[in-house]
Chain A
Amino acid sequence: MTQTQFSPSITSRPTYSQLQSHGGSPAILVADGSGGQALLDLIARDASVLDRGQIFFVTAGTEFGAQLREAGAKAYHQGLFFNEILTQYQAALAQATMATRIYLAGSEGLIGHATAEALAAGIDAGSIQGEHRGGIARRMQCVHCKGMTDDVTTDPFTCSHCGLNLFVRDHFSRRLGAFQGVCVDAETPGEVPETQEIKL
């Protein structure tokens, strides 16, 4: 599988490239779904990335867990959802030093959420890399009620917290790790445009 090529968009929309190893620096590696393959590819290019590395993997129905567990990391954490291993990830961030590198791979939602956690823990943005793999589901914040909705694949979508119909903007906040959702029928309540798949 190759990395995703997104169509040109506004400048706050994140872009991703292939993960680059920083060798044996302390490392926190986080992936979900087919992002697991991106970590395996990184390790294949430079195994020293695991010398002081910890892996956090969200299986999302994929089989990469077994290989990642055996890859030789200092620690391995696995969950069905990111929330199941979030506490362990936050603990690892709290232990991070200036030299620690963060490698993220998989869905845009995972990369966004994990980036936001890292920034909140005081990690410099320049120490965080992301490689996009898999689907194009987005993590969306409702600008009205502030609730987060994960795995959004359609535009518009319904806010899972307040129920408003929201359109999917490309405007992205690294601090929140989410795109912005704005009421689509504010001016004409009830007139909701036809639902479409989110485009790359």
Chain B
Amino acid sequence: MTIRFNDETFRDDYTHFNSPEAIQRFPFPFDRDDYMYSVNIESHTSGPKGTPFDVAFDVDEHYVSEMRDLAITLEQDPKRCQSLPHMELAGWDLLELIMTSKVADYPDLFELHRDGNAWRWVNKPLGIDDSFTFLDASTLPYGPMEYITRQAQGDFAVLDQRDGSLWMDAGMVTCQADWSLDFNIGMNFTEWHAPVPKAHEMRIFERALKFLMNVQQGAPSRRLNWTMTVNPRLDTSPENYHLWGPEKRTVTPENVGQKQYLRVELQTFWRLPRSNALAFPIRCYLANLQDLSSVPKWGRRLHRVIRDLPDELADYKGFTLNRPMIVEYLSQFDDGAETSLGIYPAEDQS
């Protein structure tokens, strides 16, 4: 398996693009024509070959450029990566999990040589070849969590489990949908979800927490979440809201297909062996309406979902302003034909 890595940006001139292959494997989050919250959790690392679902930590054509964007964000705001003092062991757990998974899924891109605690890690796409002592942080240029998450796409929250809850006690968060690690660090599961509308009354979080606290080693799970973003911007943080917020006003009926992006989070859940912490990677995928609509089933479905979404959810996801334009644009792809259940593109005729 060889991946051709894009040379692209996720800020300023926004040269990000999806190849036709990337569009076909996009994790489209809607399995039917309407959307409401649910605890839509399923077992991870099973899915059609070539999709983001059949590997532990997906590496795609955006890998090298996304890691470059992460480094810029981190340089401007080091508080995007934090780990409370009791979380270092969990950081080593995460490092081991990501390294061994990447080697198993992409043996041509990554190598891990282990002799007891003497480890050598080779990351060919990023040109890294480091030798270090496992569980000895002084032998790495960063703490273990920061070291490995600088080489993995998406955000990572590492949750401590105690007192009947999960606690957001460490994380690397540079491509988030408008939440602040620096504000939320140290919060429990209920506290950090407090601002989400409707879901509390539906007792979503209660059930999700019960599930997550029982995730077992070697049995990871996943769910998809989504929102909308103007421009292919990874760093839609509250910290920089005053910088990216004005871009929402640059959408017009003429450019909405190119500028309006569906932002999908592939969230996975992993029990870590030594610390008993829960790793919670949140991988972000971006595709604009034009590219998504090239798949007939997705064009039809996206129109129906966005058109019929409760106002409260559109508000929370921050696209109330541009929603009429989005629905109008998407309506051209909706001929009223039935769509098949499930998220994959192939089944329906154009």
Contacts and interface: CB of A to CB of B under 8 A. Distances in A.
Contact of A171 (B185, B194, B246): B194
Interface string B235-270: 000111110011011000000000000000000000
Contacts of A143: 180, 183, 238-239, 241
A130 to B, nearest CB: 16
Contacts of B246: 186-189
A151 B184 CA distance: 22
Interface in B78-132: 79
A161 interface: no
Contact of B194 (A11, A144, A189): A11
A11 B191 contact: yes
A117 to B, nearest CB: 14
Contacts, number: 68
B187 interface: yes
Nearest to B241: A186
Give 9 nearest A-B pairs by CB, closest first: A186-B245, A12-B194, A175-B186, A10-B194, A183-B242, A187-B245, A12-B191, A11-B194, A186-B242
A189 B182 CA distance: 25
Interface string B308-350: 0000000000000100000000000000000000000000000
A12 B187 CA distance: 9
A183 B244 CA distance: 12
Contacts of B191: 11-12, 172, 174
Interface residues of A, number: 25
A27 B98 CA distance: 46
Interface residues on B, range: 20 to 34
Contacts of A176: 183
A172 B240 CA distance: 19
B186 A12 contact: no
Interface in A1-44: 10-13
A182 interface: yes
A173 B194 CA distance: 11
B195 interface: yes
Given A144-B240, A182-B238, 5 more contacts: A12-B195, A143-B239, A146-B79, A174-B186, A186-B246
Contacts of B185: 175
Contacts of A170: 194-195
Contacts of B184: 173
Contacts of B321: 187
A68 B192 CA distance: 38
Contacts of A189: 242, 246
Contacts of A180: 180, 183, 238
B200 interface: yes
A54 interface: no
Contacts of A174: 186-187, 191
Contacts of B242: 144, 164, 183, 186, 189
A156 B191 CA distance: 23
Contact of B245 (A10, A12, A171, A183): A183
Given A146-B182, A187-B249, A173 B241 contact: no
Nearest to A188: B249
B282 to A, nearest CB: 19
B109 to A, nearest CB: 37
Contacts of B15: none
B38 interface: no
A173 B238 contact: no
Interface in A161-200: 164, 169-176, 180, 182-183, 186-189
A129 interface: no
Contacts of B79: 146
A144 B241 contact: yes
B190 interface: yes
B186 A173 contact: yes
Q: Which of B186, B239, B241, B242 has the most CB of A within 10 A?
A: B242
A6 B161 CA distance: 31
A144 B183 contact: no
Interface in A137-161: 141, 143-144, 146
Nearest to A13: B194
A182 B195 CA distance: 13
A171 B184 CA distance: 9
Contacts of B249: 187-188
A172 to B, nearest CB: 8
A188 B321 CA distance: 12
A13 B191 CA distance: 8
A11 B200 contact: yes
A110 to B, nearest CB: 20
B245 A173 contact: no
Contacts of A10: 194-195
Contacts of B180: 143, 180
